[in-house]
């Protein structure tokens, strides 16, 4: 049985003060949640969020990580730096990184390898664009992105990865994949994992859905057998909505 994982992706939102306020509201609200709870926050908020979440069931995540140990990479953060700030999870290959910052499958792979080697849990994002779905390429795209991201990991390491299936056309648009579409595409990803790494690995890997997941649709999505959680953007920015998503089973 896979434990569900709901992760907030705050993107470029919240000052440290606003972050602390949100986490202080979340701590009592999500206490006792059945799922794993993660907030992936801007790096300037690591400190206040880790303090505000201390002793709670809320885990700290980052939104990107560089693959080098250190060096001349202006603007980047290393695995070691994230870990020193209490970060446990890291989003890798988000479609906004791919779309606006030149992220490629090859660099998604390097980041994933570095995160795993350093003991961070990657949340690897994959997903097709609108025109790719309309042309019938969804399955090919998500399988390719997934297998490329994981190249070089051992089957045992793959077991610990989280994958987020995020159809690009559903992110921040208010459009959501139907429960069945999300379940079907996540099933395609799981089958690819099964072919490459075996059934035990495919059964262990948690695959989230992301793209306008919110209080009104979380129950239906989470009722699907292949969907093991959510990566939540807009609805993670306020305590009532994120709490309702986290407590989807109540």
Instruction: State yes or no: residue 166 binds ligand PGA (CB under 6 A).
Output: yes
- Sorted by sequence, the CB contacts under 8 Å of residue 179 that are 6+ apart come out as 217, 220, 221, 223, 224
Residue closer to ligand PGA, measured from CB, 197 or 242 = 242
Residue closer to ligand PGA, measured from CB, 189 or 202 = 189
Return the residue of 172, 198, 216, 240 that touches ligand PGA, per CB under 6 A: 172
201 to 220: interface string for ligand PGA, x by CB under 6 A: ---------xxxx-------
130, two tokens: 């609108």
Which member of 59, 66, 94, 103 is catalytic?
Answer: 94
Smallest distance from the beta carbon of 8 to ligand PGA, in angstroms?
9
Instruction: State yes or no: residue 9 binds ligand PGA (CB under 6 A).
Output: yes
Looking only at the bridges linking them, the beta strands covering 206-210 and 121-126 are: unpaired
Instruction: State yes or no: residue 171 binds ligand PGA (CB under 6 A).
Output: yes
Per CB under 6 A, the segment of 71-79, 104-112, 139-147, 165-173 that binds ligand PGA is 165-173
Q: Is-catalytic flag, 166?
A: yes
Instruction: State yes or no: residue 246 binds ligand PGA (CB under 6 A).
Output: no
Residue closer to ligand PGA, measured from CB, 183 or 212 = 212
On whether the CB atoms of residues 46 and 60 are closer than 8 A, the answer is yes
Name the DSSP letter for residue 176.
Answer: -
Mark out the alpha helices in the chain (DSSP H runs).
16-30, 46-53, 79-84, 95-100, 105-118, 130-134, 138-150, 155-159, 179-197, 199-204, 218-222, 239-246
200, two tokens: 């035990």
Instruction: State yes or no: residue 93 binds ligand PGA (CB under 6 A).
Output: no
Instruction: State yes or no: residue 167 binds ligand PGA (CB under 6 A).
Output: no
92, two tokens: 């890798």
Site for ligand PGA in 20-49 (CB under 6 A): none
Site for ligand PGA in 223-242 (CB under 6 A): 231-235
Name the DSSP letter for residue 235.
Answer: G
Residue closer to ligand PGA, measured from CB, 11 or 190 = 11
- Sorted by sequence, the CB contacts under 8 Å of residue 136 that are 6+ apart come out as none
Interface with ligand PGA (CB under 6 A), residue total 13
CA dihedral angle for residue 182, residue 165, residue 100, residue 73, rounded to 10 degrees: 170
Q: What is the contact surface with ligand PGA in residues (CB under 6 A)? A: 9, 166, 171-172, 210-213, 231-235
């Amino acid at each position: 049985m896979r434990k569900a994982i709901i992760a907030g992706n705050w993107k470029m939102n919240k000052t440290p003060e606003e972050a602390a306020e949100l986490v202080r509201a979340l701590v009592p609200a999500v206490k006792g949640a059945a799922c794993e709870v993660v907030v992936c926050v801007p790096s300037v908020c690591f400190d206040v969020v880790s303090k505000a979440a201390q002793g709670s069931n809320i885990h700290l995540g980052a939104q990107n990580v560089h693959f080098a140990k250190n060096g001349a990479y202006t603007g980047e953060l290393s695995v070691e730096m994230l870990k020193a700030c209490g970060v446990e999870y890291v989003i890798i290959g988000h479609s906004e990184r791919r779309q606006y910052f030149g992220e490629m499958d090859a660099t998604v792979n390097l980041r994933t390898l570095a995160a795993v080697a350093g003991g961070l849990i990657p949340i690897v994002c994959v997903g097709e664009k609108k025109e790719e779905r309309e042309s019938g390429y969804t399955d090919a795209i998500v399988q390719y992105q997934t297998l490329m991201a994981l190249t070089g990991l051992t089957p045992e390491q793959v077991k610990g990865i989280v994958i987020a299936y995020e159809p690009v056309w559903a992110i921040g648009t208010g459009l959501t994949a139907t429960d069945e579409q999300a379940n079907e595409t996540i099933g395609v990803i799981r089958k690819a994992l099964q072919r490459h790494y075996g059934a035990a690995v495919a059964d262990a890997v948690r695959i989230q859905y992301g793209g306008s997941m919110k209080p009104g649709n979380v129950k239906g999505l989470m009722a699907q057998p292949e969907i093991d959680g959510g990566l939540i953007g807009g609805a993670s920015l306020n305590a009532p909505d994120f709490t309702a998503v986290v407590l989807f089973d109540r």
